[in-house]
Amino acid sequence: MNTHRLTRAALKSTIVMLTLVAGVSAITARGQDSGTNGPATDAASSAAVNRVETSATRGAIIPIKNEISDVTAESLKRRIEFARERGAQVLVFEIDTPGGMVTSALEICSLIKNLTDIKTIAWVNTEAYSAGSMIAMACDEIVMTPSSTIGDCGVILGGPTGPQEVPEQLRAKAESPVIEEFRDSAARNGYDPLLCESLVVKERVVYWIEHRETGERRFIEEFEKKKLFNESSEGFAFTEEASSDESSAANPWFLIERYFDPILNKDIKLPQPVVKATELLTMSQSRALAFGFCQGIVADAPAMAERYALSGDWLRLDTTWSENLTAWLTSMPVRIFLLVIILLGAYVEFNTPGVGVPGLTALIALGIFVGAPYLTGLANVWEIVIVFIGFALIAVEIFVIPGFGVAGISGILCVIVGLLATFIPEEPGRTFPLYWPQFEPGLRGLETGVIVLASGAVAGVVAMILFSRVMPHLSWLHGAIPPNPMPTETNVATVDPYHGYARVGDVGRITSPLRPAGKARFGDELVDVVTHGEYVEPPAEVVVIEREGNRVVVRPVDDPSTPRKA
């Protein structure tokens, strides 16, 4: 684990340098838990917006925004440690996220729960869906802004016909880590286990009931409700108004019909069941307060400081520019641009002798293309290895094996598969490096990968055509790119790098395959040569047809159109 993190840290630093160079559930023994007290009464819920005294004197706000990834987890470790060094005794995680990677969220939850000497508060501003709600419930308390939402932690299976239910053979692997995390949070913070389960499992039908005499409130499932109210098949249930005195004496429980909304300062009608079989629990700030998840409504940082009796200025710890850069490098437009640079650099490099700036630029772009997803958790080591194996096979096909066959085709397939895999996040229960995604995020990532590769390939081809044919003939570029100097009497004599060999009409013998660049021997001189696209195998003879400085263009001797010296 430590070696893996060191590798990520080193690669992150390398990518930043290269860029500069390039330019829910809680399932407990419910036989006993069914008698556990639920959320507080309406009066207690209303009082939750009041000030809460604490011994802490200084607080830090740590924003958690956008999608959760490995970059988020590493960033939080850095910011939490910085806050501890500055003496923060209260950490407020300002959450505004649609969710993200399960593995990263679980790591963040573990990090937060291990902060036993610091009070942790989740401040939902303005949404904490999926992984965001998991992180929020790992904190000691949850507070929310006057217009915010939390919940919806289900696993959805994507497909060509739209979202589908997760197959039974995959549900255990997909849901178990999330359920266990919510189970632990419920036990730590006193959340209702059935409600936590309904955040993840859609089949749960949950009712909210109250004891007429004691005021105890409880969340129960549908089968418990039928048993408690002795319902008939028609599903009749007691309510506070509908139950008669006689039935009340027999059954003191009734369904809660209203809850107090501190934002509107009035009672709001509550539909029952509070969670239906066709939905996952998703709560506004007022419902989260009524159900016992939210401890208070906090609009801004000053209100937070007043609520927790904090002194001094808030220490706000945002993400650094390098963390933002790493996330930006995985965006679709940037990855399309990187792919174009890779293709164009390779094209220019293969059409000019020697190794130069285009090839180096292409390698840098490739490193960023596959390295940035590795830092965000989208790619793993195996996918990057597959990409470089593909390039190795292509190189063997070009420079070693005559013709173009199995090695070249296999290399191209490895590169395409490896690059597509860098767009697909890991899925629960997957151990093999490559797999066809089953869940909606993976399929969405695959779709993005296909779009990026297809768009980048088309744009790369267009760039090659422009670079090779159009740009040299654009008059407005002549001033920006001066022509090669023409020989005049005042010119200083240039040095021939090949000492008089490899002039137009000279015949030599190639020593390596020309694909289309390679090497040929003219007399005692080994010369870098290139054809006009023809592939020539050694030990064929070639004749020089063009010479511009150290650029030597040749054709096979048996070509009838080839000029030769007399």
pLDDT in tens, 232-291: 645 445 454 444 444 455 678 999 999 999 999 999 999 999 999 889 999 999 999 999
Per-residue pLDDT at 350 exceeds 90:
no
- Tokens representing residue 403 in the block: 């013709």
Q: Does the pLDDT of residue 396 top 80, yes or no? A: yes
Q: Residue 430 has what pLDDT?
A: 59
Euclidean distance between CA atoms 139 and 223, whole angstroms: 32
How far apart (Å, rounded) are the C-alpha atoms in residues 224 and 232?
13
Distances in Å between the alpha carbon of 537 and those of 104, 526, 540? 52, 16, 6
Task: Outline where 258-329 has alpha helix (H).
Answer: 285-290, 301-307, 321-328
DSSP string, 56-124: ---EEEEEEESSB-HHHHHHHHHHHHHHHHTT-SEEEEEEEE--B-HHHHHHHHHHHHT-TTSEEEEEE
Q: Identify which of 56-65, 402-411, 477-486 has the greatest average pLDDT.
A: 56-65
Beta strands 141-144 and 119-129: pairing type? Answer: parallel
Which position has the higher pLDDT, 461 or 18? 461
- Looking only at the bridges linking them, the beta strands covering 59-65 and 315-316 are parallel
Beta strands 282-284 and 149-151: pairing type? antiparallel
Give me 444's structure tokens.
């969405």
Q: How confident is the model at residue 446 (pLDDT cuts 50, 70, 90)?
A: confident
Nearest in space to 127 (alpha carbons), one of 139, 135, 115: 135
Question: Could you write out the DSSP letters of every residue in 155-203?
Answer: --B--TTS-BPPPHHHHHHHHHHHHHHHHHHHHHHT--HHHHHHTT-TT
Instruction: Look at residue 439 in the predicted model and tell me its pLDDT.
Output: 63
Helix (H) and strand (E) counts in the chain: 19, 18
User: What does the pLDDT read at residue 6?
Assistant: 41
pLDDT classification of 158: cutoffs 50, 70, 90: very low
Q: Which residues contact 223 (CB under 8 A, 6 or more apart)?
A: none
- Average pLDDT (372-387) is 79
DSSP percent split of the chain into helix, strand, coil, nearest 5: 45, 20, 40
Would you state the structure tokens that stand for residue 478, as one six-digit string?
A: 């002549």
- The pLDDT of residue 52 is above 70: no
The Cα-based distances of 81 to 74, 314, 538 in angstroms read 11, 16, 62
Average pLDDT over residues 115-136: 94
Segment 442-470 mean pLDDT: 84
Q: What pLDDT, on the 0 to 100 scale, is given for residue 124?
A: 97
Q: How far is Cα 337 from Cα 330, in angstroms, rounded to an integer? A: 11
Q: What is the tens place of the pLDDT at every residue in 406-442?
A: 888 888 899 999 888 888 766 655 556 666 776 656 6
Instruction: Please state whether beta strands 525-530 and 517-522 pair in parallel, antiparallel, or not at all (unpaired).
Output: antiparallel
pLDDT of amino acid 182: 94
Output b/e per residue, 181-207; b: 16+ Cβ within 10 A.
Answer: bbbbbbeebebbbbbbbbbbbbebbbb
pLDDT at 436: 74
Return the amino acid letter for 542. Answer: V
pLDDT for 42 beyond 70: no
Residue-wise pLDDT for 525-541, tens only, equals 889 899 988 888 888 89
- What is the mean predicted confidence (pLDDT) over 43-54? 40
Please determine, for residue 171, whether its predicted confidence score (pLDDT) is greater than 90: no
> Cα 393 to the chain's mean position, in Å?
29
Average pLDDT rounded to a whole number, residues 545-556: 87
Work out the pLDDT band at 142, boundaries 50, 70, 90: very high
The predicted structure's pLDDT at residue 227: 87
Give the Cα separation of 91 and 386 in Å (integer).
42
Q: Which of 193-207, 282-296, 319-333 has the lowest mean pLDDT?
A: 319-333
The answer to whether 477 and 312 are in contact (CB under 8 A) is no
| Alpha carbon of residue 562 to chain centroid | 56
pLDDT(480) > 50: no
Report the predicted TM-score, pTM, of the whole model to 2 decimal places. 0.62
pLDDT in the model for residue 114:
94
Identify the pLDDT of residue 79. 94
Measured CA angle at 164 (ends 158, 170), to 5 deg = 80
Confidence check: pLDDT of 163 > 60:
no
Is the pLDDT reported for residue 561 higher than 60?
no
Write down the pLDDT at residue 375: 74
